[in-house]
Amino acid sequence: MAYSMASSGRSTLPQQPFRDELAQRRKTTLLLFYLAALPSVIAVNFATRIPSLRTFLFVLALAGAGTAILFVLRFLRANDEHERQINYRALTFAFVGTLAFSAAIGFLQKFGFHSVSWLGIPSHDHSVEHWIDLYSWRYR
């Protein structure tokens, strides 16, 4: 590393590339979350179509969902206090939104609307991620 003296007599440091390792860790954790959730979604989708492999596919879906939850927890632990508060409120909003949507579907079914499979509610709900994005959008 070479130092140089400026004309004012002060030494200057060479430019170092900025590396935000926390941001890189969070991106990697989110990528791993999606890679863990993908087999879970695929397994649940095929479990209804292939009855002979239903038990195996549900076990695979459960394992993928559990792994995805661990990556979400790892992501949330990497945040500072302000981001944790935002994410806590966003998750609360997502839970309440999903609950209200599911209750509305059940209420409408009592009046004769078509029934939705228990697997269809999360897919019609556009996933919890969209509820979280909707809530945390105001902080961007």
Task: Report residue 115 as tokens.
Answer: 């029934």
Across 14-23, average pLDDT: 68
Across 109-126, average pLDDT: 64
* Residue 122: pLDDT over 60: no
Which range (4-8, 9-13, 22-26, 102-106) has the least confidence? 4-8
Which range (4-8, 42-46, 79-83, 99-103) has the least confidence? 4-8
Which range (11-25, 50-64, 67-81, 126-140) has the least confidence? 126-140
**Of the candidates 132, 128, 134, which has an alpha carbon nearest to the alpha carbon of residue 37?**
128
* Confidence class for position 63, pLDDT limits 50, 70, 90: very high
Continuous H helices in 48-137:
54-77, 81-110, 120-124, 127-136
CA distance 52 to 124: 26
In the chain, where the domains are located: 22-78, 80-140
The answer to whether the beta carbons of residues 121 and 109 sit under 8 Å apart is no
pTM for the structure as a whole: 0.58
